[in-house]
Amino acid sequence: MSRPGRPKGEHRSAQRAGNSINPPSRSKGEHRSAQHEGSPVSVAAPGAESADLAFMRAALAIAAEAAARGEVPVGAVVVRDGAIIGRGGNSPIAHNDPTAHAEIAALRDAGRAIGNYRLPGCTLYVTLEPCAMCAGAIMHARIARLVFAARDPKTGACGSVVDLFAEARLNHHAVVTGGVDAEASAALLGAFFAARRRTEPEASPS
Ligand SMILES: [Zn+2]
């Protein structure tokens, strides 16, 4: 039985329906995973910060496209050797698919691009802290590094709710950097939810 009062169906159950997207308190908090101390990946090369910003801007552009489709604005890109090999925007509503998060879409796109279900040596940039599902997919893909923008205090699995990348019993650990262009991502999400509250006043914040 469908519930009355939600004729357009379950926007609130779409990805990251929370309204309280906070920029991270540690703006450059490189929160290293427990393993791989001394991994060369963890040492920022000259210009690494500006490269991170440029790729995050690409992910933010995809997030803005998602917002234009009425999806929660989250975007992701997969980068290998300095080039984007996969892109994905959040689209669970359009696809009636709870797994259609930006990270999953970007991983699939990258996998198809290189003909491999594993993406070793790749970096995934995403505009919002990944959830547990996406953290799992990132691990299965063997992503070497994860860079995200805003934190998600409701579903974030990189330290906000749980920290799966610090879980030593899981066998793959990406190096995680949070807070890259967090303010821009938080602003995009904030504007999206503010607009939705104006058009769906009955949908009170959870
Ligand atoms: Zn997710």
pLDDT in tens, 75-88: 999 999 999 999 99
Mean pLDDT of the region 113-131: 98
User: 123 CA distance to ligand 1 centroid (A)?
Assistant: 16
- pLDDT at residue 141, as a whole number: 97
Q: How many C-beta atoms lie closer than 10 Å to residue 206's C-beta? A: 10
User: 46 CA distance to ligand 1 centroid (A)?
Assistant: 31
Residue 6 is encoded by which pair of tokens?
A: 């939600």
Residue 192: pLDDT band (50, 70, 90) is very high
Q: How far is CA 101 from the centre of its chain?
A: 8
Catalytic residues: 103
Q: Kindly tell me if the per-residue pLDDT of 206 is higher than 80.
A: no
pTM of the model: 0.78
The rounded distance, in Å, linking the Cα atoms of 167 and 91 is: 29
Mean pLDDT of the region 99-127: 98
User: 144 CA distance to ligand 1 centroid (A)?
Assistant: 18
